[in-house]
Amino acid sequence: MALILTAVAAPLLTPYEPLAVNPADRLLPPSLSHLFGTDVLGRDVATRILFGARISLLTGLISVTIAILIGVPLGLVSGFYGGLADRLLMRLVDLMLTFPGILLALVIIAILGPDLFNAMLAVGISASPTYGRVVRATVLAAKSQTYVEAARATGCTNARIMLRHILPNTVAPIIVLGTLGVAGAIIAAAALSYLGLGARPPEPEWGALLSEGRNYLRVAWWMTTFPGLAIMTAVLSINLLGDGLRDALDPWLRN
């Protein structure tokens, strides 16, 4: 929550503009006036990290949303209908899982072109098989329950059973997986931006900030150290939140 509030309140937390160039202040070390120093164009690094939190968090959320929109229907249909549909869809998932996530994202970026939204789309698509697998397993366990048989007996259609009776039971694992997925999506998007395949300068995305500072490690260590610490802090915080949600939503762990 503190991370989200910091991103939202970024304009109130710093007197500087994230894109304002001031050559007279280039490569200043951390000080009271510039807590995290300045970059090669005289921009305040702390300001760019604060505004970059908006981009990185939004990238993680959008990427996970894309993964959920693709993976959940795939797993729901596969687990509910079984048979040929299940075999075909799961073979597609298996094919996607044979590629490392970042490699699959690179392939998608190569097809669509380097862009921040394309990076979100690539990360979301590469993560969707995991959601499909988890939802399928949940559906297979749920569709044999008594309440599903009762719904069939009352004349409910397959679509109604899936959407009204089975889908709600997949919400808890999706929330937990999605929360943890945001952290992974932030790292993946930062890696793509670092390679020049995601956010482009002058956008203050954390991966792009790392890329900007890599040529100045000897003379301006703060340009990469503080964006790296921001990524680490954000990912650690989100992972801790995901672990807490897992403990809260898992009845076995509660007992």
With a cut of 70, say whether residue 7 has pLDDT above it.
yes
With a cut of 80, say whether residue 15 has pLDDT above it.
yes
pLDDT above 70 covers what percent of the chain?
Answer: 97
116-163 pLDDT tens trace:
888 889 899 989 999 999 999 888 888 878 888 888 888 888 888 888
For 44-254, which CATH class?
mainly alpha
pLDDT at 9: 85
Apex 90 CA angle, 100 and 138, nearest 5: 100
Give the domain ranges of the chain: 44-254
Which residue do the tokens 């999706």 mark? 174
- The angle that helices 171-194 and 101-112 make with each other, rounded to 10 degrees, is 60
CB atoms within 10 A of CB 31: 10
- Peptide bond connecting 204 to the previous residue in cis, omega within 30 degrees of 0: no
Q: Which of 39-48, 71-80, 159-168, 204-213 has the lowest mean pLDDT?
A: 159-168
> Which of the four pLDDT bands, split at 50, 70 and 90, describes residue 252?
low
Task: Spell out the residues 6+ positions from residue 216 whose beta carbon is closer than 8 angstroms to its own.
Answer: 27, 40, 223, 224
